[in-house]
Amino acid sequence: MFRYFPGYPEGAAFAEKPCYFCGACPALDGELLDFDEAFNDPPPVCLPDFLAGKARMDIPSSIQRTLARNVEARHPDWNEQARETYVQERTEELAHTPPVSWIQPNQWPVCGGDYAQFIGELTRARIEAHAGSVEGGKIFLQTILRQERPEWPGDSWLERYWEYLGDFMRIYQFRCPDGSEVNVLQMM
Ligand SMILES: [Zn+2]
């Protein structure tokens, strides 16, 4: 259904309250969305109203510029107009994709001349299932942390990071068009 979020609704950010516009449940978390009207407290919006354009995912201009640069490097033969149109179309499509439950601003990654596909959040349960045991899960997390945050105090803090995962610390997993994976780590 969604190019950039093929697993929807698993991993989407839902609100606890019903849709502000029609009362339907479940509704997407408005905190992560942009509205035409100004709200002090951005309200929940159901998927049909979201798709009808009552709200959209906020995509920081820095992310759009990253895609523009990525597309330019990848398609030097395209003229400027073609590149701009492509970036606009893909950005519009991402804006109409349900939001991920970011704990910091949207950091949707770009790779292979496109926005990446959201696979899901790397929770303790998912890592544990993948690794086959809690200890294996911690080693898997350690590998990710060494890649993503080489400056952090690593091994002596591993127990703490494991406890933080899914809470103060979130790891969002994305897939690039070439099949490689990108992790986005956020800390509250
Ligand atoms: Zn609604």
Which pLDDT tens digit goes with each residue over 112-150? 999 999 999 999 999 999 999 999 999 999 999 999 998
First to last CA, the chain: 30
Please report which confidence band the pLDDT of residue 18 belongs to, taking 50, 70 and 90 as the band edges. Answer: very high
Is 154 a residue whose pLDDT tops 90? no
How much distance in Å is there from the Cα of 93 to the middle of ligand 1? 20
Is 74 a residue whose pLDDT tops 90? yes
Is 160 a residue whose pLDDT tops 90? yes
Token pair listed for 69? 């640069």
Locus of tokens 């499509």 = 93
How much distance in Å is there from the Cα of 120 to the middle of ligand 1? 25
How much distance in Å is there from the Cα of 80 to the middle of ligand 1? 38
Tell me, what's the pLDDT at 156?
Answer: 82
Tell me, what's the pLDDT at 89?
Answer: 98
Residues 6+ apart with CB under 8 A from 50: 28, 33, 56, 96, 98
Provide the strand spans (E) within the chain.
27-28, 33-35, 45-46, 55-57, 110-111, 114-115, 117-121, 169-175, 181-187
How much distance in Å is there from the Cα of 104 to the middle of ligand 1? 26
How much distance in Å is there from the Cα of 47 to the middle of ligand 1? 7
What distances in angstroms separate CA 12 from CA 7, 39, 151, 162, one per listed residue?
9, 22, 30, 22
How much distance in Å is there from the Cα of 5 to the middle of ligand 1? 20
How much distance in Å is there from the Cα of 90 to the middle of ligand 1? 25
Which DSSP string do the residues of 109-140 spell out, in sequence order?
-EETTEEPEEEEE--HHHHHHHHSSHHHHHHH
Tell me, what's the pLDDT at 144?
Answer: 93
Please report which confidence band the pLDDT of residue 37 belongs to, taking 50, 70 and 90 as the band edges. Answer: confident
Token pair listed for 180? 């490689």
Q: What is the percentage of the chain residues whose pLDDT exceeds 70?
A: 99
Token pair listed for 50? 């979201």
**Exposed/middle/buried for residue 19 (C-beta within 10 Å: 0-12, 13-18, 19+):** buried
In angstroms, the CA 116 to CA 122 distance is: 16
Residues near ion ligand 1 (Cβ under 5 Å): 19, 21-22, 24, 46, 49
How much distance in Å is there from the Cα of 50 to the middle of ligand 1? 8
Tell me, what's the pLDDT at 36?
Answer: 87
In angstroms, the CA 72 to CA 184 distance is: 23
> pLDDT (tens digit, 9 = 90+) per residue, 168-180?
999 999 999 999 9
Tell me, what's the pLDDT at 155?
Answer: 77
How much distance in Å is there from the Cα of 28 to the middle of ligand 1? 9
Preceding omega of 9 cis (within 30 degrees of 0):
yes
Please report which confidence band the pLDDT of residue 30 belongs to, taking 50, 70 and 90 as the band edges. Answer: very high
How much distance in Å is there from the Cα of 72 to the middle of ligand 1? 38
How much distance in Å is there from the Cα of 18 to the middle of ligand 1? 8
In angstroms, the CA 157 to CA 3 distance is: 37
How much distance in Å is there from the Cα of 63 to the middle of ligand 1? 28
